[in-house]
Homo-oligomer: A and B are copies of this chain.
Amino acid sequence: MPATIHDVAKKAGVGIGTVSSVLNNSRPVNPATRQKVLDAIKWLDFVPNPSGRRLSMGKTHTIGVVIPFFTIASQIERLRGVMSVIAGSDYDISLYTVETVPQRNKVLQRVARRGHIDGLLIFSLSPTEEDLQRIKQRQVPTVLIEAYHPEVHSLSLDDVAAARNAVEYLINLGHRKIAYIGDYLEDPFGTYFSRNRFEGYCQALKAAGITVDKRYQRQGWLDRSEARQLALDLLQLPDRPTAVFAFSDEQALGVLEAARDLDISVPQQLSVIGYDDIRIAHFAQLTTVRQNLFDSGVKGVELLLNVIEHPNATPQHIQLPTKLVIRHTTAPPPVMENIL
């Protein structure tokens, strides 16, 4: 059995209060006594049991990180950002991945409460009204990343503008037949950004007087292989699009794979734009909307740590910048098309 604070106290010939004091610097201790305690701690290889400490202090020193779509590279980049700041703090990270609705509910209903975690960092999941009531009632410090609710702190992107921007770029290159491959507009997790990106896509088309063509829209899971199937279908249309705007880099990569399957050269015959700028995007030379994913994780925990200290602060909503990164999967549409 590991040593306890009592063992240390006995070994050092002092009371446990003194040991606790040197452990936490919670009150002045005579240097000589302190040294005795320190020696005992070292001798016994003592580290305080966190459960005892938690119970006593009513703090868990743990942050719950809730991540859906864990297969998606962008989530990992965010998590890396989170870990980089946590490593320098005295918090632990409890990881909750969400792949199904029951999992989502389990986390939000059972775990998201005081006594379990000190704060909750939620990626890409916008809380429902019901969730929100729970969170507020339980007073769990919460920060959303890439999600939004007016009453919860959040970091998010101006998805509408970013998507509109990307599609405008395609239009300026001369494209008219621009397809959209995205997530389901209404997904069971209650995300909202698919709607926003689609909205931006529509806005750009309308502003340019291009009719929004249903045939050029496809929905699927945030998954490369599914996007590939959708793109395969899309690219075999009699009047196939000359450009595709994808909801995410993962899906854009699926489109690139489909183009390769069909011997359609990119960007000569087909332009592709993604979203996120995950690390593979660079390798694939993908034109994409960059969001600084690592940074969003860093900023997210920093905000959460702040909220834990000041629980009653009014909700902040930080907009993270995006930027269109032009690489080599976009070009003007084939000339043939323009002549016809």
In the complex, the answer to whether B49 meets A51 with C-beta atoms within 8 Å is: no
In the complex, the answer to whether B115 meets A2 with C-beta atoms within 8 Å is: yes
Given A70-B83, A87-B99, A280-B280, residue A52 in contact with residue B55 (CB < 8 A) = yes
In the complex, the answer to whether A115 meets B50 with C-beta atoms within 8 Å is: yes
In the complex, the answer to whether B80 meets A70 with C-beta atoms within 8 Å is: yes
Report, as a range, how many residues of chain A touch the other chain.
Answer: 35 or more
In the bound complex, how far is the Cα of B25 from the Cα of A80, in angstroms? 40
In the complex, the answer to whether A83 meets B60 with C-beta atoms within 8 Å is: no
In the bound complex, how far is the Cα of B113 from the Cα of A283, in angstroms? 41
Q: Who on chain B is nearest to A115 by CB?
A: B49
Within 8 A of B (CB), among A43-92: 47, 49-52, 54-55, 60, 62, 70-71, 73, 76, 80, 83-84, 87, 92
- This protein's copies in its complex: 2
Q: Who on chain B is nearest to A87 by CB?
A: B103
In the bound complex, how far is the Cα of B99 from the Cα of A99, in angstroms? 28
- Tell whether A27 is near chain B: CB-to-CB under 8 Å: no
- Tell whether A212 is near chain B: CB-to-CB under 8 Å: no
Q: How far is the CB of A53 from chain B (nearest CB, A)?
A: 9
In the complex, the answer to whether B283 meets A253 with C-beta atoms within 8 Å is: yes
Q: Who on chain B is nearest to A103 by CB?
A: B87
- Tell whether A215 is near chain B: CB-to-CB under 8 Å: no
Residues of B within 8 A of A76 (CB): 76
Q: How far is the CB of A105 from chain B (nearest CB, A)?
A: 13
In the complex, the answer to whether A47 meets B113 with C-beta atoms within 8 Å is: yes
Q: Who on chain B is nearest to A100 by CB?
A: B87
Residues of B within 8 A of A49 (CB): 55, 115-116
Residues of B within 8 A of A116 (CB): 47, 49-50
In the bound complex, how far is the Cα of B2 from the Cα of A115, in angstroms? 8
Residues of B within 8 A of A115 (CB): 2, 49-51
In the bound complex, how far is the Cα of B257 from the Cα of A55, in angstroms? 53
- Tell whether A33 is near chain B: CB-to-CB under 8 Å: no
Residues of B within 8 A of A94 (CB): 62, 92-95
Q: How far is the CB of A231 from chain B (nearest CB, A)?
A: 14
Bitwise, A240-266 to B at CB < 8 A (1) or not (0) is 000000000000010011000000000
In the bound complex, how far is the Cα of B73 from the Cα of A70, in angstroms? 12
In the complex, the answer to whether A113 meets B52 with C-beta atoms within 8 Å is: no
User: Which of A2, A47, A51, A257 has the most chain B CB atoms closer than 10 A to its own CB?
Assistant: A51
Can you list 6 A-B contacts (CB < 8 A)? A2-B113, A2-B114, A47-B110, A50-B115, A52-B55, A76-B76
